[in-house]
Structure 1
Amino acid sequence: MNHIQKLLFITALLSSTIAFGQLTEDPDERRDKGKDPLRTQTVDGRPLPFSQRLRFGGGINGFRFGNPFSLGVSPVIGYQASERVIIGVGGNYTYTRYKAGYLYANQGVTINQYGFRGFIMYEFIPSILPNLYLHGELQTNTYQQKIDQVAGAYTGTIAAPLLGVTYIQPISRRFGVNLTALYNLNYNQNDPISYQVYGGTPFVLRLLFF
């Protein structure tokens, strides 16, 4: 098992462990009364404590198979700011590998990215399609690009605003399966760094558990 596989395994294990600890029922058992649990308050209107509004988790992101191959891990912390708004922060590590012949005729390229992001999600049509959120975030990535058979590596930082949607399939009041599709507003196909760092596409897909 190489270091990438080990990292993915450890992240998945930690995410599942944290998620399991969040599988708590609503304090006032609203489900027993035929109602969905409130996200920020109890049935009688008392606000939930800060700790009970936090959502922890993580998952995988940037997955592409073939050429290029790309796979990343992404821990996340979210906060239920209101019944319809979630804000949060997250980190990410993404490994991307271009085989020889894709960017350079006889050389492959490996890119390692370490990033941070802040995001906000807004449930915009709960009466029609609950748990569908508009999703906006600002992401920064520090990257290291290594070309096969070339000494040294090129490093730098690139930032991008992303917009899209997230659908959450709830499992408990503070935990769910999140499928996110975003568009990178800063993507430039004609910029070699932007093209390589973002895997040759402006679209970002993530599967997260939080």
Structure 2
Amino acid sequence: MNLIQKGLLAIMLVSSSVAYGQLTEDPEDRRGDGKEPLKTQTPEGEPLPFSQRLRFGGGISSLQFGNSRIGTPFIIGLSPVIAYQASERLIAGVGVNYVYYRYRLRTNTQTLTDQFNQYGGRGFLMYELVPSIVPNLYAHAEFENNNIRYADQAAQEYKRRWVTAPMIGATYSQRVGRLAGINLSILYNVNYNSDIYSQYVYGSPWNIRISFF
């Protein structure tokens, strides 16, 4: 495991620990009074400080266990996130994308091995649409930028390039604390059909993910 992999794994572990603290410590929860806790104010109506509006978390963006006899790759992706509750209905955030690929093919005479990394970042906005009718349903807009490896057939070598992916869709958040939730997102990559390199990042224009923050 190289330095980049170790660093990203450490970020993910720290983010998960902080997120767990948000989940278990919620001194201003109003549910005892039969009310949903506000996301940006204390029960007394005072604005929450910046630090208490932050959410830390993320998720596993990819996971596949390879079989060396049939040539399927081993893939694992991590996506730590920092989000900010800008208002009662608006969430803004940034995240890091990292995917590790390892390909091993075993034949009768030799074993072929290849491994590489894909990395990048993203920024997103989530706006709660109709909280009075469907609470915790958000319109979701996101911009990703990922550095990928691709095969240059003319030069007969691997090269790297950045690929942008503006995505739109929706997220449903199942809240488990004042500033914590399990999120199901369905997003559409607007660039997928117009940029062939987008297909190196995702196998479909539709991206479905589960995250925690």
Cα deviation, 1:51-87, whole Å, max 9, x if unaligned, reads 1111111111145678676541101000001101100
Check the 8 A contact 2:171/2:184 in 1, yes or no: yes
Cα deviation, 1:119-177, whole Å, max 9, x if unaligned, reads 00011021222111111011101112369xx9853100011100111111111111111
Indicate the larger mover: 75-84 or 111-120: 111-120
Greater relative CO (CA pairs within 8 A, separation 6+)? 1
2:78 to 69, 73, 76: 73
**Secondary structure of 1:195's match?**
helix
Q: Aligned equivalents of 2:103 and 2:192: distance in 1? A: 18
| Structure 1: 4+ residue segments shifted above 4 A | 5-12, 62-70, 96-100, 107-111
Structure 2-normalised TM-score? 0.78
Check the 8 A contact 1:111/1:145 in 2, yes or no: no
1:209 to 190, 205, 212: 212
**Secondary structure of 1:157's match?**
strand
> RMSD of the alignment, in Å?
3.2
Q: Aligned equivalents of 2:83 and 2:20: distance in 1? A: 16
Amino acid at match of 1:93: Y
Q: Aligned equivalents of 1:99 and 1:186: distance in 2? A: 31
Check the 8 A contact 1:111/1:146 in 2, yes or no: no
Q: Aligned equivalents of 1:154 and 1:135: distance in 2? A: 32
Indicate the larger mover: 42-51 or 119-128: 42-51
The residue aligned with 1:137 is 142
* Structure 1 residue 38 displacement after superposition: 0.2
Percent of aligned pairs with the same residue? 52
The residue aligned with 1:194 is 198
Q: Aligned equivalents of 2:193 and 2:118: distance in 1? A: 18
Q: Do the aligned partners of residues 203 and 7 (structure 1) sit closer, same or farther apart at CA in structure 2, a change above 3 Å counting?
A: farther
**Secondary structure of 2:88's match?**
coil
The residue aligned with 2:187 is 182
Q: Aligned equivalents of 1:189 and 1:124: distance in 2? A: 30
Check the 8 A contact 2:167/2:187 in 1, yes or no: yes
* Structure 1 residue 189 displacement after superposition: 7.5
Check the 8 A contact 2:151/2:157 in 1, yes or no: yes
Q: Do the aligned partners of residues 123 and 108 (structure 1) sit closer, same or farther apart at CA in structure 2, a change above 3 Å counting?
A: farther
**Secondary structure of 1:22's match?**
helix
* Structure 1 residue 12 displacement after superposition: 5.5
Structure 2, gaps ≥5 residues long: 67-71, 106-111
- Asked if 1:90 corresponds to 2:91, the answer is no
Q: Do the aligned partners of residues 159 and 99 (structure 1) sit closer, same or farther apart at CA in structure 2, a change above 3 Å counting?
A: farther
Structure 1, gaps ≥5 residues long: 101-106
Structure 1-normalised TM-score? 0.79
**Secondary structure of 1:18's match?**
helix
1:90-109 correspondence to structure 2 within 5 Å: 90-96=95-101
Check the 8 A contact 2:124/2:140 in 1, yes or no: yes
* Structure 1 residue 194 displacement after superposition: 2.3
Q: Aligned equivalents of 1:203 and 1:173: distance in 2? A: 30
Indicate the larger mover: 78-87 or 173-182: 173-182
- Matched positions, count: 198
Check the 8 A contact 1:63/1:205 in 2, yes or no: no
